[in-house]
Amino acid sequence: MLARFAVDYVRYVLKGGAKFYAWMGLLALLIVGMLYVYYLQNTEGLIVTGLTSQIHDGLYLANLVFLVGVAAGAVTIVFPAYVYHHEGMHKVTVLGEMLAISAVIMVMMFVFAHMGRPDRLWHMVPPMGIYSFSSMLGWDVLVLNGYLFLNSIIGFWYLYSKYTGKPVNKKFFLPLVYVSIVWALSIHTVTAFLLATNPSRPMWFHSMMPIRFIVTAFAAGPALIIIAFLIIRNNTKFWIDDSAIKLLTTIVTWCLGLALFLTLSEVVVELYARTEHANGLYYLMFGLHGLTSLVPWFWSAVALMVVSFVLLLIPKVRNDMKRLPIVCAMAFAGIWIEKGMGLVVPGFIPSPIGEVTEYFPTFVEWLMTLGIWAFGFFILTILLKGAIGILLGDIKAPAAA
């Protein structure tokens, strides 16, 4: 029966109109570009990137950190559905789990891109790798794989039950759901520790980092989910209730407000009595010694986050399903900048010995990043389309039919 489920799922996914094939073709083109630059990296080395001895984490780690938050953001659907029994959320829970699966896959691919030597990746795999438990990245890989496993089991178990027409065994299913809720918090907490446990990087070395990460995750993740839900509503027969979208909008609004509060609090604390430890943040905001490459990134992130937050406070905008995706995209982009290039890179500037070196991502890094995002959306499209087919009843076992 499992083989029949897989075959029916694939057959349904392969069917589509011109819009579907154009979308998948564009993603496939970007994936081919990604494979080409990945080949360059592994033949010529990471010298083809903008990374240096002073700044050894750049665009790849920035996207890794951000996407862990997107994956964790799926819990904003699961928690209301299973803990508060929200009817609108319960209908679309499995779609959030498909997003989490795709996001974690992208995170793993950014790990591959960032390592430089893929043959050494096994050193991070617990318990075999020699750095698996001594390195925070090893713990991050452990919790991310666990989260991927949990969401895959929960999501496809639910879909298979719908496919066969049999009820889910709640004695085993619900405990997995509750574990995944707690696990979602753990993945971003450990990712925050990846940065916050570096005492030589004053910009990261504070205990509020996990809170800041979780708050931004619960703003960026639901923002992307809202956009995906509205696209699904406008292009498929599957209807997503307004109640689910409005609840997600409320979560985005207040978590975005908290993210702004934490960011501005850090600015006040660091710059009120400025010491050399505040140089990283000062460089990000105003530049140092005439070097200002990240200043536009910071202020554009602040502008996007503030404007989207203000717009979300206006009921006419918040409840307008045509303008809401634009506002969510602004919030998503602002958090991507603030949590990625606006957090990872300035942590290295200046270096512990006072060197000020700027970082410029190369074409190789940008194409690799676009290709990995394209691969993630390629997987997400396949997962969502098959899941919607099962939820609509278009894919079902002969016995269930």
Q: Taking Cα atoms as reference points, which of 2, 8, 18, 10 lies closest to residue 235?
A: 18
- Quick one: pLDDT at residue 207? 84
3-class state of residue 7 by DSSP: helix
- Quick one: pLDDT at residue 363? 94
Dist CA 202 CA 218 (whole Å): 25
What does pTM read for this prediction? 0.92
Q: From residue 274, how far is each of 252, 268, 279 by CA, in Å?
A: 32, 10, 8
C-beta separation of 276 from 200 below 8 A: no
> What are the residue ranges spanned by the domains of the chain?
57-392
Dist CA 380 CA 128 (whole Å): 31
291 strand-pairing partners: 288
Dist CA 350 CA 343 (whole Å): 13
- Quick one: pLDDT at residue 39? 92
- Quick one: pLDDT at residue 290? 84
Q: Taking Cα atoms as reference points, which of 279, 301, 302 lies closest to residue 291?
A: 279
- Quick one: pLDDT at residue 147? 92
288 strand-pairing partners: 291
For the beta carbon of residue 242, count every other beta carbon within 10 angstroms.
13
Concatenated DSSP letters for 189-233? HHHHHHHHT-TT-TTT-STTHHHHHHHHHHHHHHHHHHHHHHHHH
Dist CA 116 CA 167 (whole Å): 46
Which pLDDT tens digit goes with each residue over 87-97?
888 888 999 89
Low-confidence ranges of the chain (pLDDT < 70): 126, 129-132, 399-401
Classify domain 57-392 at the CATH topology level: Formate dehydrogenase/DMSO reductase fold (1.20.1630)
Phi, psi of 241 (to 5 degrees): -60, 145
C-beta separation of 49 from 365 below 8 A: yes
Q: How far is CA 281 from the centre of its chain?
A: 24
